Amino acid sequence: MAHSTVVEDERFMRLALAQASLAFCAGEIPIGSVLVQNGECIFAEHNRVEELQDASAHAEMLCLRGGAAVQGSWRLMGTTLYVTVEPCPMCLAALHAFRVDRLVYGAVNPRLGAVESSMRDPASAEHAYHTFEIAGGVLADEASELMKLFFRKRRNGEVDVEKPPEGRMPASGSSANVCSSVTGSGEHECSE
């Protein structure tokens, strides 16, 4: 891998880690995602499953949907998706469907990962109409530590998962998606 690609991958993974920190502070599983085209962030998101009460509101899914809206097309050719944790089968399938060119992820997801972990299906490694490049392990230690800290705090009752009142969905769009406002520090200190 070229040096410039390594530097760029780490730069954008730091933005994804900052999104993961936003999820952490919101009581969501801390996974963040950034969609990049031509060296520019076009969309950034984090997990919002609890906020939206939507099991498909994974960082990757929201980022791909948002990127398609920004681009005005569901075909996201020429893009790279950065995500802090190895995607699950649903998100990996979406990468194919949205025609993303490249996936870069941080930590492996031993239980639900579909690239190299337990949910990997070697028989479906070749997709019928779209393939993309995959790079894993970028800033994996930082991503893994954030996940471990989140689950440790949750087990100890230190992380609350806010759920809306029965039968009421929160307003959509409450997650700021401004790529330029994401610091990329990857810190997980939450302000009150």
Active site residues: 60
Do the Cβ atoms of 84 and 17 come closer than 8 Å? Answer: yes
Distance of CA 138 to the CA centre of its chain: 13
* CA distances from residue 88 to 19, 41, 114 in whole angstroms, order as listed: 18, 22, 5
For residue 48 the two structure tokens come to 């919002």
End-to-end Cα distance, the chain: 41
Give kind and range of the element (H or E) at residue 43: strand 40-46
**CA gap 79, 75 in Å, rounded:** 10
User: Reduced to 3 states, what is the DSSP secondary structure of residue 58?
Assistant: coil
- Token readout for 60 is 């990757």
